[in-house]
Amino acid sequence: EDKVVQSPLSLVVHEGDTVTLNCSYEVTNFRSLLWYKQEKKAPTFLFMLTSSGIEKKSGRLSSILDKKELFSILNITATQTGDSAVYLCAVHNTNAGKSTFGDGTTLTVKP
Amino acid sequence: KAGVTQTPRYLIKTRGQQVTLSCSPISGHRSVSWYQQTPGQGLQFLFEYFSETQRNKGNFPGRFSGRQFSNSRSEMNVSTLELGDSALYLCASSPEPTSGSTYEQYFGPGTRLTVT
């Protein structure tokens, strides 16, 4: 069965800090890995990663995938209070056609 | 483009009743997936529909069912509700899956179901 493990489960930092969130996975027939941000509503899409070693960036957020070691990281630099959210990692299995989600990392950014 | 819409947003039902939730995907998206989110279990995959056919199914009992219409709108039904069915039910739509840049899922706001 496909499995996604995120760490840490929760993290408290101060504004301006840089954080790294981890996602490791076990999946047969890997298709893609996705990162989402969830505040008090539905998850919003951040990144989709399909190839190893290619960093994706969006403002202060960036992510990279290592398909050999089966993990991904999400970096957030110069954190702001608005970055406080649950960050979800999901992997997509081509055969099953579904996404398996991790439990998420709850990030709290204090002023 | 308008986003994914779900109705109703909130619902309160009693044990034993049944419920139908609706999801309208982003225009042009043909794949619709349903998820159950609870504090204890996180996001759990229910099923996925594409072109009116259920393509994939998660590990939920047969009380959970769904369908998709020709306009890609989807409904999910839960019969004989149990207290443990209280959750946020999320619908997500994806564009044509044969494209190399797909499987991005765009989530709707969810339906918060409370079973008493």
pLDDT for A96: 60
> How many CB contacts within 8 angstroms connect chain A with chain B?
51
Contact (CB, 8 A) for A91 and A100? yes
CA angle B61, A99, B91 (to 5 degrees): 70
Contact (CB, 8 A) for B84 and B72? no
Contact (CB, 8 A) for A48 and A34? yes
Helix (H) / strand (E) element for A11: namely strand A10-14
For the segment A67-79, what is each residue's pLDDT rounded down to a tens digit?
899 999 999 999 9
- Is A101's CB within 8 Å of B42's CB? yes
For the segment B46-70, what is each residue's pLDDT rounded down to a tens digit?
998 988 999 888 889 999 999 999 9
Structural domains in chain A, sorted by start? 3-110 (2.60.40.10)
pLDDT for B95: 79
Contact (CB, 8 A) for B89 and B113? yes
- Is B103's CB within 8 Å of A92's CB? yes
List chain B residues with CB under 8 Å of A95.
none
The pLDDT of residue A20 is above 90? yes
Among residues of chain B, what percentage have pLDDT more than 70? 92
Give the highest mean pLDDT range of A47-56, B40-49, B53-62, B80-89. B80-89
For the segment A51-110, what is each residue's pLDDT rounded down to a tens digit?
888 899 999 999 999 989 999 999 999 999 999 999 999 998 776 667 889 999 999 999
Best mutation target, B5, B38, B43, to test chain A (most A CBs within 10 A): B43
* Cα end-to-end span (Å), chain B: 37
